[in-house]
A and B are shown apart, each in its own frame.
Chain A
Amino acid sequence: MPFSRRRFLRHSALATTTLIAAPTVFRSGAFGAENPIIVGSLHDQSGPIAASGTPMVYALQLAVNEINAGGGLLGRPLKVIHYDTQSNIQMYSQFAQQLAVKDKVDVVHGGITSASREAVRPTFDRFKVLYFYNVLYEGGVCDRNTFCTGTTPAQTVEKLVPSAMKKAGKKAYIIAADYNYGQITAKWMTKYVKDNGGEVLSTDFFPLDVTNFGTTISKIQAAKPDLILSALVGGNHTAFYRQWTSAGMKGKIPIASTTFGLVNEPTTLDAAESDSILGSYGYFEELTTPASKSFVEKIKKAHPDSPYVSELAACTYEGVMLWAAGVNKAASIDRMKVIAALEDSVAFDGPSGKVSLDKATHHTTRNAFLAEVKDRKWSVLESYSDVKPADTASVCDLVKNPNDTKQYIINL
């Protein structure tokens, strides 16, 4: 084919037009007609925290699918933009920016560790993107743009400590992971032990890569407590329960934990190592209510290899549903209108029971459960209905100070 100037000009003109027109064509073709509401998702699906993040992503997908099957929100479908944050805080900041600036999402559900939440919260505040944090944590976040749907110590630790003390005795020994969750939770444990007339013999913190608990076990024996309270976190710390059993201490001093069994511990440890450990969360996979059963069934059906479906997954599901209820109530996707609607005590009946949002703290009033490990499963002993996030409520009042954006470290 001869190459002429005229042909070149014609071709380049055509190419340029296509290039310029392409975005509009794509936009109207793929998205424009349906104009979906965009839900951002920031969860770790790889790295050390993946076992926690994976069921959360499944739960979020389930909630979004159910909403879409019911006709979407405001007549518009939901679309999820998910980023795997790879258990890396830097990825959190990066993807949070991307969700806010590039993807222009209408809401973000995500964050797992307290560190990851604090990394992204300012970004969403700055870019005015509504943010949901659906994980149990140490409490104290006070931010009008943020909703925390998981349990806080006043909801779980407050139940766990007295029940454990009633069974075992008044002298407690606290062992906890050495970062903000462990440090603050240990303070709460101390407070509740004292409130119930007990005494804390010692509090030991462990860096996350400590694997040898021999000396700790000896120290515990020397201190002779009636009870061990554990806020140990992660794979390396699971070694504690194993070494405790191998030293023959299992059954001699009972253990109650705020972290044990949140992921897969009861199924991976031997029954002899985990039996009779006490725990308290806002949800257990073993709950037998119809809503809980169908929730677990749906997740396991879609993902047969899913890790334990814990409070993390249930709160994520409930978080998305609460947000959807807020959008419906506001009849708008505008951020401030949705926040105002959510503050008007929006509630949802989820797998863990009735969950309602509290206006002053943006936390949830929800059920709490106390359970004991039996033969590698949780067996629920006790349930407490409509427990309030009293810890955060004691420092945070968004009605009075709507511009607050702090995480309060509660002085005990």
Chain B
Amino acid sequence: MAIYLIVALDVLNGIASLFLLCLGLAIIFGMMKIINLAHGEFIMLGAYATVISANAGVNIWIAMLVVAPLFVGILGLVIERCLIRFLYGRLVDSMLATWGLSLLIIGIITTIYGNTQQGVPTPLGGFSIGSYQSSYYTLFLASMAIVMMALVYGVMSYTRLGLIARATMQNPAMAATLGVNPARVYMSTFTVGAAITGLAGGLLAPVSGITPGMGGAYVAKAFMTVVGGGAAILSGTMSAASLFGAVNQIGAYFTTPVYGEVLVFTAAIVLIRLLPQGISGRFFKGNL
């Protein structure tokens, strides 16, 4: 019995981390149609911000929950002003530019901190279920995923800010005639997306190996999840993250980690073939 609970926790952990990793991308790519190939590097920067501030004496929770999103958010703002704002509506160009950006960021971080690994120990401890052990951090990640979901949902549906953002994404010209400044909306949306990605990096820092190239391990899965999820940021990302996270973890448990990875990508191909608009394009049409 205990083993089922432990596996359920692993699945929960897989889903929560995937959701957190993808939320920022869902906003930047799903809403703004900017292909951000530097997404993995935003995660890496969040992780570095956490590790470096934590090692400099900042409380680990503050480093994860405040420093990481703040740093990557500000950086996102600068990047939007200097690069991204010239690329709205140019899908392919944004892909090339952000790819270059990702190489640049990796290069800069390697130059400053070298290629060796960084890290912080995982806070919280483990607990036991029967004769099995799991970690409280898993539960923390899951609750952070729920908090972020609620936060994005709340802001998007119940605030004026969210309304303006959604309206601008749908029809910038119409929003502009109603007195909204689309450029500013795009800017702040990109900043928020970057900050959320930074937060994901911060949250993953204590449980992953941190090197300048670590973003590469996440970017493909993040895009797969966002595309699989479809247009609705929240319901789409959540449903795709649940599907892929569960397939990965359960697959890895019953076969081997190699097949776990293969199964996820197979599931993604089948999904996109059957639902070209993503999960939300079929089942949650018009949802957030």
Contact = CB atoms under 8 A, between A and B. Distances in A.
Interface of A: 46-48, 50-51, 54, 178, 204-207, 209-212, 214-219, 221-222, 234-239, 242-243, 245-249, 252, 263-265, 268-270, 272-273, 305, 307
A206 B252 CA distance: 10
Contacts of A217: 133
A212 B214 contact: no
Interface in B167-207: 204, 206-207
A277 to B, nearest CB: 15
B117 A238 contact: yes
Interface of B: 3, 6-7, 9-10, 13-14, 17, 110, 114-122, 124-128, 131-135, 137-138, 204, 206-211, 213-214, 216-218, 248-249, 252-253, 256-258, 260-261
B216 A209 contact: yes
B122 A246 contact: yes
13 contacts: A51-B114, A210-B257, A211-B218, A215-B260, A221-B133, A222-B132, A235-B211, A236-B217, A237-B209, A243-B122, A243-B207, A245-B122, A247-B126
A193 B10 CA distance: 30
B218 to A, nearest CB: 8
Contacts of A265: 117
- Looking at A212, A236, A252, the one whose CB has the most chain B CB atoms below 10 A away is A212
A319 B265 CA distance: 44
Given A218-B253, A246-B124, A273-B121, A236 B208 contact: yes
A54 B209 CA distance: 20
A246 B110 CA distance: 28
B116 A234 contact: no
A242 B126 contact: no
Given A207-B261, A273-B121, 19 more contacts: A47-B213, A50-B110, A50-B114, A204-B257, A206-B257, A207-B257, A210-B257, A211-B209, A212-B17, A218-B134, A235-B214, A237-B209, A246-B124, A246-B137, A247-B134, A248-B127, A263-B117, A264-B117, A268-B116
A205 B208 contact: no
Given A218-B253, A236-B214, A239-B208, A248 B14 contact: no
A218 B138 contact: no
A183 to B, nearest CB: 11
Contact of B252 (A48, A54, A216, A273): A216
Contacts of B3: 218, 222
A270 B248 CA distance: 29
A209 B126 CA distance: 25
B135 A242 contact: no
B133 A248 contact: yes
Given A239-B208, A242-B206, A246-B126, A50 B115 contact: yes
A373 to B, nearest CB: 14
B117 A204 contact: no
Nearest to B136: A246
Contacts of A216: 252, 257
A252 B126 CA distance: 12
Given A215-B252, A247-B133, A239 B209 contact: yes
B253 A215 contact: yes
A132 B277 CA distance: 55
A270 B257 contact: no
A246 B135 contact: yes
Contact of B117 (A218, A235, A252): A235
B115 A218 contact: no
Contact of B258 (A205, A248, A249, A307): A205
Given A204-B256, A218-B7, A234-B209, A51 B116 contact: yes
